[in-house]
Structure 1
Amino acid sequence: MGVKDGGARKWVAAVRRRLLSPVLLVIVLVFLSATVVLGMVPGLLTTPAPTPQIPAWQQQPSALSDANAVLPLDTDAPIPVPEVLARLLDETLKPSGAGSITGVVMDGSTGQVLFDREASANRIPASNMKLLTAVAALKALGPETRFTTRVLAGSDPSTVVLTGGGDVLLGAGASNTAAVAGRAGLASLAKDTAAALASAGVKGSVSVLVDDSLFNGAPLNPAWSLDDVAAGETAPLFSLALNSGRYSPTVATGPRPQDSAVTTAQAFAEQLAAAGVQVSPGVERGKGIPAKVLASAESATVSEQVDLMLETSDNFLAEALGRMTAAASGHEATYDGATAAVRQRLGELGIATDPKQLQLADVSGLALDNQVSALHFAEVVRAITSGPDLSLRTALDGFPVAGLTGTLDDRYVDAGTAEGAGLVRAKTGTLNTVIALSGYVVDADGRLLVFSFIGNGLEPGAAANKVAMDRSASVLAACGCRG
């Protein structure tokens, strides 16, 4: 409230006091006296103990809101003393067995490095790779861009062509404008197609084709382990898919469609039949007439898809966003085109992209051939939180919140890590012997800190080393770190 609003409230209160009748005052006094005598409000007779004042940014949120900026920040807040911070992190940031953990902590406002443990060393980053993909997609495509799935008329009037536009989050049912996954639905697309066919006077059986030619190259990345593919970590990539390449939106593991384009077209044919169109059996690949659009449906925005990718660590969605980034950056929409586009967009942010410093085999983080340093990730996080490109701020909502959302929802619940619950916001990364955590936190003094920790060669595996990461991030949340 401004000064004028405060003055108005005081004036209204004064008027009310003057208008309060003597009779009403008597009633109020009698009621209060009786209440005191009955002992119902003993708090009125004593002075309550002062409530400890905890800064707003150190209170665990009761509800999550959109984060389009990191607030509150005090430019005069003290910066942690590097020697003190190093002493604390050396106690927590260590593997439980074999392997090593590198890391870096930077002041978000100035970029000053406050902690450096081999921060420039190349490491396998696991799903922290998605942070690079996020900023590249936002820069190349723009936060508000949507992907359009179209139904085109074929050269034969009795043929319709489901044409992929990069939306791999299609839903089987009606379009849900409040959703990210399922924002565009096949049932709505089929209903609109049926109406267009009826309006054009098309009668009899209709054949369904699918055009997935937007993406080029091999659907499966040769850098991936076939065991990871078989386990359902990802699937062959196409330019349209249901449920991010899954059979069901509620089942995130296990077998996945090996040809999501055909699977999606078959589901569309079923919805078209449900809309009253006689549909010929079978689905084949083909192309439609671009000028003859029978129906279309738009995806969620790029920023919404980026947030979902980061929060849930969705590998299939990451690779689809990578292909769309490649196409928008003048590269072929292939796996190599996606990594080239990510490298290009990072360079535009002033982040080092020399192949000796940055080796990219995919854009989701499944590939063991990826080599990225903790410093790279800290610089990317800082670009999101504090950099001059405001379009990157839209990625803030995608960072999982410790103990509350996404891939951090079941962490930060034990002694030693609970201090970071609700405060630490970070992208996770996990492979068998790899674990990573990169994100940001506003410390106890109101200073924004960005960090990245990466463990490689971990034995016992990555799961046993999560606590080291979480305790270290919690140290930053609780940090004054000045002595």
Structure 2
Amino acid sequence: MKGVDEAGAEKQAPEQQETPVLRPRKPAKPASKRVVRFLPLVLLTLVIAALAVPMGLGVAPGFLGPGFMGAAGTPAPKVPAWQQVPKQLSRTQIVAPLDASAPVPLPADVTNQLNALLTPDGGGDFTGVVEDALTGLPLYDRDGAKNRVPASNMKLLTAVAALRAIGPETRFSTRVLAGPSASTIILSAGGDVLLGDGPSQPSEVLGHAGLETLASDAAKALQGRGVKGPVTVQLDDGLFTGPALNPAWSLDDVAAGETAPIFPIALNSARTSPGATTGARPQDAALTAAEAFAEKLQAAGAAAGFTVVPGVERASAPAGKQDVLASVVSATVREQVDLMLETSDNYLAEVFGRMAALSAGKPGSNDGATAAVSAQVAELGIATDSMHLADVSGLALGNQVSARQFADVVRAITSGPDTRLRAALAGFPVAGLTGTLGDRYGDASTSQGAGLVRAKTGTLNSVIALSGYVVDANGRLLVFSFIGNGLTPGAAGNKVALDRSATALASCGCTGG
């Protein structure tokens, strides 16, 4: 597939350690000279200590409370046991594999608990499915086969398609090619929309490949070829076809920055800066990235003896064997999928759909993406006849997927035979800790699920969804999907209903004992 680079799967050689050099020890100075030399240092230390004591008495109460160290004659309070230094360290604990013989919850007990919790706040209704991950035994089913608008739970299907069709260790390359003349170069888009505008950052996912590094390497290559004078930069972003903006999306959502026209190259997932998560996006992310590259090349070219012609125009790379001047590669698909799930990145999801389509020999378009995702889900043995996909990020209201299909997809990820899908496990937000669940599970009714529930969220105006997995109180791995449609917009109780239901599964000992 054009633009997909497997170079990331290559093993890197371990760093070489320096061999210590032994040098002859210098003769020691006489003791009297050593004392004289260090006497000023000792005196300075005593002065600092003398000043530090009264300062510490004044500062410490500000950190430790008014009763600390006898402030104002108040005796120091007893330090709680959990704040004291332990007398001995506890034994190292290792997370053991799940016990396949752990008792399976009774469906009647699970149903009784969830029916009391999974209730809408105002209008609308919830559907839901809970399954035993190991056996697939259904433990709860409320209209589980009913089609629903799933919101961003759609990204679970897209994650599966990306990992299966593209491969977890694949990286996308962004290349600089020699153009039709010695003074023309072509920036060739290869599917990396997480480019940074600075140096490449190998330890990061966003900004793993940097335009500054790409420009620097390209400038060296041009200098090596003796290129002088103005250099023209062209852009080949023809990897994707069809409309860049999905007609199923609301233009209000586009204007609000929920997504943007989809291109196979972008900075910061088509955001204005690495830290931006809301607000307007560039409407031509590819050209924005190309112009940023040209600026970096202009800076690098100053030392290499050439300048860059202002402006970037689109062009097609020469057919046949291409002359690569420089290239940078993205983080792996595995790492990008985790970022997509954790942050619910609509733009990245749509790019994954098109890249999965290209990998399967389909057009890199909206229709190609939805067809590729549906096909990959079907190949897992999950019935897709009733499924309808209008996009692959979940922003479109035309998507129709059931809670049972989502539960089956989560089960395929956690315990199915295709082990490539395990790469998505780390991307599920953790209740109360990470991603789109980081600010949830903080009240008394849900705190028992914090750190235990791992699930993909989904939210639209009248839609809310939560699909994921949890280990119950008896050590049984459960997968679940809860979807609400037709809900009262802004009603706070709907999100709480989902979180309480997932928390109930985490603390469930539902075995009738």
Asked if 1:457 is matched to 2:486, the reply is yes
Contact 1:102–1:117 (Cα < 8 Å) also in 2 = yes
Which of 355, 367, 380 matches 2:396? 367
Looking at structure 1, the residues matched to 119 and 498 of structure 2 have their Cα atoms a distance apart, in angstroms, of 9
Looking at structure 2, the residues matched to 287 and 274 of structure 1 have their Cα atoms a distance apart, in angstroms, of 25
Q: 1:4-24: per-residue Cα shift (whole Å, max 9, x none)?
A: xxxxxxxxxxxxxxxxxxxxx
Looking at structure 2, the residues matched to 417 and 429 of structure 1 have their Cα atoms a distance apart, in angstroms, of 18
Looking at structure 2, the residues matched to 239 and 462 of structure 1 have their Cα atoms a distance apart, in angstroms, of 38
Contact 1:160–1:288 (Cα < 8 Å) also in 2 = no
Compute the displacement of 1:445 (Å): 0.4
Which of 422, 425, 428 matches 1:399? 428
What corresponds to 1:299 in structure 2? 330
Which of 404, 411, 436 matches 1:382? 411
SS in 2 for 1:337: helix
Contact 2:354–2:365 (Cα < 8 Å) also in 1 = yes
Compute the displacement of 1:95 (Å): 0.6
2:340 aligned partner, one-letter code: M
What corresponds to 2:242 in structure 1? 217
Compute the displacement of 1:353 (Å): 1.4
1:110 aligned partner, one-letter code: T
Contact 2:128–2:143 (Cα < 8 Å) also in 1 = yes
Kindly report which structure 2 residues correspond to 1:96-175, keeping only aligned pairs within 5 A, or say none. Answer: 96-175=121-200
Compute the displacement of 1:157 (Å): 1.1
Asked if 1:258 is matched to 2:280, the reply is no
Looking at structure 2, the residues matched to 56 and 361 of structure 1 have their Cα atoms a distance apart, in angstroms, of 44
2:216 aligned partner, one-letter code: K
Please list every run of at least 4 consecutive aligned residues from structure 1 whose deviation after the TM superposition is greater than 2 angstroms: 287-290, 460-464
Contact 2:121–2:492 (Cα < 8 Å) also in 1 = no
What corresponds to 2:451 in structure 1? 422
Kindly report which structure 2 residues correspond to 1:69-84, keeping only aligned pairs within 5 A, or say none. Answer: 72-84=97-109
Contact 1:139–1:345 (Cα < 8 Å) also in 2 = yes
Which of 279, 292, 296 matches 1:271? 296
Contact 2:182–2:227 (Cα < 8 Å) also in 1 = yes
Asked if 1:352 is matched to 2:383, the reply is yes
Q: 1:256-294: per-residue Cα shift (whole Å, max 9, x none)?
A: 111111100000011001112411111100123452101
What corresponds to 1:14 in structure 2? none
Looking at structure 2, the residues matched to 351 and 477 of structure 1 have their Cα atoms a distance apart, in angstroms, of 26
Which of 360, 364, 367 matches 1:336? 367
Kindly report which structure 2 residues correspond to 1:282-293, keeping only aligned pairs within 5 A, or say none. Answer: 282-289=311-318, 290-293=321-324
SS in 2 for 1:278: strand
1:180 aligned partner, one-letter code: V
1:479 aligned partner, one-letter code: C
Compute the displacement of 1:462 (Å): 6.0
Which of 217, 242, 254 matches 2:267? 242
Looking at structure 1, the residues matched to 459 and 322 of structure 2 have their Cα atoms a distance apart, in angstroms, of 46
SS in 2 for 1:247: coil
Compute the displacement of 1:345 (Å): 0.7
CA-atom RMSD, angstroms? 1.6
Contact 1:430–1:462 (Cα < 8 Å) also in 2 = no
Looking at structure 2, the residues matched to 75 and 171 of structure 1 have their Cα atoms a distance apart, in angstroms, of 45
What corresponds to 1:12 in structure 2? none
Compute the displacement of 1:56 (Å): 8.2
1:339 aligned partner, one-letter code: T
What corresponds to 1:89 in structure 2? 114
Query: With structure 2 as the length reference, what TM-score do the two structures score?
Result: 0.80
Identity %: 67
Compute the displacement of 1:418 (Å): 0.4
Asked if 1:469 is matched to 2:501, the reply is no
Looking at structure 1, the residues matched to 168 and 469 of structure 2 have their Cα atoms a distance apart, in angstroms, of 21
Asked if 1:198 is matched to 2:223, the reply is yes
Contact 1:426–1:439 (Cα < 8 Å) also in 2 = yes
1:188 aligned partner, one-letter code: T
Asked if 1:437 is matched to 2:462, the reply is no
Gaps of 5+ in 1: 1-42, 49-54, 58-70
What corresponds to 1:33 in structure 2? none
Contact 1:72–1:446 (Cα < 8 Å) also in 2 = no
Query: With structure 1 as the length reference, what TM-score do the two structures score?
Result: 0.85
Looking at structure 2, the residues matched to 253 and 157 of structure 1 have their Cα atoms a distance apart, in angstroms, of 42
